[in-house]
Structure 1
Amino acid sequence: MNIYVGNISYQTKEEDLVELFSTAGAVDSARIIKDRETGRSKGFGFVEMPNNEEAKAAIEKFNGTEFLSRNITVNEAKPKEERPAGRGPRGGGFGGGGNRRY
């Protein structure tokens, strides 16, 4: 099961998440999401646990608890939604102003 871990300290390392979640069961991987340009943590990440029962127990155990001086949010990760092509709700881009008066 893929688990979302939010409100983590910007200094948290992936190894820290593995160490924490290993107390609830087997951990396949941990990943902290970072800004593409700066490489700085965005303050959340994901932990993959192979056993669903252990993963659910970890969610119950850690959600709302303090970890590295922050109260973390832990829940089952939702699949990423597909984004429409282009920019914005109408496909965006340049031109197509419609109701403009010059």
Structure 2
Amino acid sequence: MNIFVGNLSSGVTDEDLRNAFEAFGQVSSATITKDKYSGESRGFGFVEMPAKAEALAAINGMNGKELKGQNLKVNEARPRPDARGGGGRSGGRRW
């Protein structure tokens, strides 16, 4: 199950996130989303846990908990909408 973790402080690392969630079971991956230009945390990340029961326990146990000075917002990640539209131009010819 893929878990969204929001309201992360800038000091939280992937390893911090993994360690916090491993208290509830096996963690396949834990990654913090970073800005592609600055490389700094965007304040959220994702944790993948293979066992649904453990993932649900982690969501319930970690939501609202403090990690490095911030109270986390934790829930099941929603699938990303397919936003791959074709460019921003309307039809018509360019002369």
Structure 1's unaligned 5+ residue stretches are 87-91, 97-102
| 1:85 Cα deviation from its structure 2 partner | 2.4
- What is the distance in 1 between the residues matched to 2:12 and 2:67? 9
**After TM superposition, what 4+ stretches of structure 1 lie above 4 angstroms from structure 2?**
none
Give me the TM-score of the superposition, normalised by structure 1: 0.84
Structure 2's unaligned 5+ residue stretches are none
What is the aligned-residue identity percentage? 50
SS at match of 1:47: strand
The equivalent residue for 1:40 is 40
- What is the distance in 2 between the residues matched to 1:81 and 1:5? 18
Larger radius of gyration: 1
Give me the TM-score of the superposition, normalised by structure 2: 0.89
**Equivalences, count:** 91
| 1:93 Cα deviation from its structure 2 partner | 3.9
Superposed CA RMSD: 1.5
Q: Deviation digits for residues 18-62 of structure 1, max 9, x if unmatched?
A: 100000111011011000111011000000001000000000001
| 1:4 Cα deviation from its structure 2 partner | 0.2
